[in-house]
Structure 1
Amino acid sequence: MTTKKKKIVTKGKSTAYLKKHSDSAKAVVKTDAQKITKAKGVITSAEKKIDTSEDLLNKANGYRDQSAAYKALTKQIETAQSKMKTTKSKKEREQCAKKIKSLTTQRAAVAATMRKIANSAGYTKAMSQKVRADTVISNTKQAISDLKAKKVKDTKNYTTYKTAYNKKVLEAKQKLQRDNGVKIQNKIKAARKSKGLKNGFSTAIYRADRKTSRVFLFGEASPNETDEQDLPTHPVDKSDPRINYGSRNSKQLSGTYYLHGSSFSKLDAQFVILQGWARKNVEVVVRGFSKWNHAYLASVSKTMDEPYKDTLAIQLTLQYAEKAHIKYAKKSKKKSKASASKKKGSSKSTKKYVTVKAGMTYWGIAQKYNVSVSSLEKMNKWPARVIPVGVKVRYV
């Protein structure tokens, strides 16, 4: 009687349920892998015993030829068994079964001959040790085959739970971001309509990932946005210097921002949170004198010229930047034909390369080796914005 395969149901399950079953399924896959590794160790140990036994048995006249025949038949049996498992044709399965039966009979006859040769040569103990080791290897190989099949099924189960869990987490994150986005905008609208101190609101700063609905509403004083460019020039004889490209070095926003509240202790608590955002490199959105979707708090400080219990003056410096995604070059194990074959002759290549490290740019390479950025872009396939770490950039 065949048991029905249990169907995994993830629809309507909670995040906690999916996490629990995902972790449990992962542990099962890990156990399968450990058992396979352990079983391979058993085979290795048994093979060593066979090697020790055969060192003696091969001294017996005729044993080596019979041993070779036994191994050849074993290999044929394993090939037929493998084909029998994978084929879908009933006729082919029947043919495989007949072949396996015939080969097994032949192998048994060879094994009997090997025992007779060993006994007559006085190597009965060595033969017994080899037979036991052969049996261990045969049984363990079957166990490994079963474990591998089980691992495949267990991996599918884990993937099902893990995929459902990740989807659930992503949906919850997206919902939280949507809800917090609405709350943030409502707070900004309410502040614009309010009277009194909050009426001085002119700048809003909140998390770009919208993990919380917290928004800092500031009164802005003397804001200053600075955009710095690197403009490397080349001197020209008896003429003005020349320039062929420019790149942004930095973009900063600084100024004094007034935070309003009911008490100094509450204002100071908000300042501590703002400091935490700066320390943790939280990406923020700025809406005020400057409208930035990607910014980081480079400097946060507080002062109090006058002891206002309901106002705190904060000096902020924000740096405009987008989060970097560093790409690493994959190391290929295969050797190319060009590198594998030895070059003949004494000619040397005039091409020169530099290995890219984190933070390196075409501009930096151009300055170091006195070449232009445009020539670097022509000689290499990577765009100026993203140069993978670990690759070799040609500069000559």
Structure 2
Amino acid sequence: MAAKKKMTAEQKLDSEISKYKKSVTNYKDKYNNAKTKQASFVKKANDAKDDKTKQFMTTIANSWKRAKDGYKAGYDRSNTKLKSLTKKKTKFEKNKVTKNLAKVSEKISEHSKKVDAGENEGKPAIYRSDGQSTDIIYVATTGGENDDTTSDISTWPRDSGAPAHNYARVSGKTVTLSGIITGNTDHESREKFNKLLQWHSRHYELTYKGRIYYKHLMISDIGRTYDDFATNIKVNLSFQFSYPVKVTAKAGTKKTNKTTKSQKSTQGTRNKTYKTLTVKSGMTYWQLSKTYGKSVAWLEKVNGKNLIAGKKVRVR
């Protein structure tokens, strides 16, 4: 009889988490059922017309109360264990990502040495940025690596002396690549291309490491061509830069002076108060920006491009 295959640490952890999730759900259901039963027999005891029936119903109600308390204790134990295992799983995942990225870096370093020694496969490497996989796709460039960064710049006249950067922002970064995916067999090169298709369809965040190096890319366009190669595939790839940021918000509302007229915002963060004032002749967004610490672009966004004397505008 073959020996039983031992579970890996990750499989064992997942199994334990699954077990305690079921236990928590089971205890919760039993607790709610016992609570309902207890309430039912308490009501019957209160409605009883003779002492004997009342005593009997009370005894059953107390029995369900003991069961309810037992299920509550079981729920608490299982839930505490589940939280501990979940925390351990999070730590495990972080360590796994770190190790995988280290493996990827080592693979790329070894691969670069082979390319420098004259092997066919290309040097630019494409792999997942989240460290959930150690798969790497290499592309031998034929049309070069291209990096294009574009900005949106306002065509509206701006206040004299206002910083130019308040009227512009980076709107996109694109990396394009034309090259060849190599393989010893047709199947091997197709497998590599299919991996790129999978990353594209699932919108994974990727790292591109060649002459150009970005960590936060997603494939926006992918194409292939079969012509005179027996086993290799010509590919065209476009990547769009997508940088993640963490957005946080403070609870509560801002305090305002008693003399300031405030009203609740109907957009953005709920229950957030803001300050308004009446526009005077000659007033500019640049002046308001300096006084209240808001950018000209922000003031124009919430109030419109033009200041009109006598009209109320938001400054905070």
TM over 0.5: yes
1:308 maps to a residue whose letter is F
Contact kept, 8 Å, 2:148 with 2:175, in 1: the verdict is: yes
1:222-371 aligned at under 5 Å gives the runs 222-235=144-157, 243=164, 244-304=166-226, 307-323=228-244, 349-350=262-263, 352-355=265-268, 367=301, 369-370=303-304
2:61 maps to a residue whose letter is I
1:314-337 per-position Cα deviation (integer Å, ceiling 9, x unaligned): 11111111245576998x9xxx9x
Instruction: Give unpaired runs (5+ residues) of structure 1.
Output: 1-11, 54-124, 339-347, 373-378, 380-393
Cα distance 1:52–1:153, how it changes in 2: closer, same or farther (>3 A)?
Answer: same
- 2:139 pairs with 1:144: no
1:64-99 per-position Cα deviation (integer Å, ceiling 9, x unaligned): xxxxxxxxxxxxxxxxxxxxxxxxxxxxxxxxxxxx
1:1-396 aligned at under 5 Å gives the runs 14-53=9-48, 125-168=49-92, 170-195=94-119, 197-198=120-121, 201-210=122-131, 211-235=133-157, 243=164, 244-304=166-226, 307-323=228-244, 349-350=262-263, 352-355=265-268, 367=301, 369-370=303-304
In the TM superposition, what is the alpha-carbon distance from 1:190 to its structure 2 partner? 1.3
**Bigger CA radius of gyration:** 1
Query: 3-state DSSP class of the match of 2:116?
Result: helix
Aligned-partner Cα distance in 2 for 1:364–1:308? 55
Contact kept, 8 Å, 1:371 with 1:395, in 2: the verdict is: no
Aligned-partner Cα distance in 1 for 2:249–2:42? 42
Q: Tell me what 2:279 maps to.
A: none
Aligned-partner Cα distance in 1 for 2:15–2:145? 51
Aligned-partner Cα distance in 2 for 1:290–1:13? 38
2:182 maps to a residue whose letter is H
Instruction: Give unpaired runs (5+ residues) of structure 2.
Output: 1-6, 256-260, 271-294, 307-312
Cα distance 1:229–1:309, how it changes in 2: closer, same or farther (>3 A)?
Answer: same
- C-alpha root-mean-square deviation of aligned residues, in Å? 4.0
Contact kept, 8 Å, 2:175 with 2:238, in 1: the verdict is: yes
1:269-300 per-position Cα deviation (integer Å, ceiling 9, x unaligned): 32222121111112222122321122111100
Cα distance 1:165–1:254, how it changes in 2: closer, same or farther (>3 A)?
Answer: closer
TM-score by length of 1: 0.56
Query: 3-state DSSP class of the match of 2:139?
Result: strand
Cα distance 1:209–1:242, how it changes in 2: closer, same or farther (>3 A)?
Answer: closer
1:23 maps to a residue whose letter is S
Contact kept, 8 Å, 1:223 with 1:289, in 2: the verdict is: yes
Identity %: 18
Q: How many equivalent pairs are there?
A: 272
1:181 maps to a residue whose letter is S
Query: 3-state DSSP class of the match of 1:234?
Result: coil
Structure with higher helix content: 1
2:205 maps to a residue whose letter is E
2:128 maps to a residue whose letter is R
Aligned-partner Cα distance in 2 for 1:242–1:322? 25
Contact kept, 8 Å, 2:23 with 2:78, in 1: the verdict is: yes
1:28 maps to a residue whose letter is S
TM-score by length of 2: 0.68
Cα distance 1:208–1:150, how it changes in 2: closer, same or farther (>3 A)?
Answer: closer
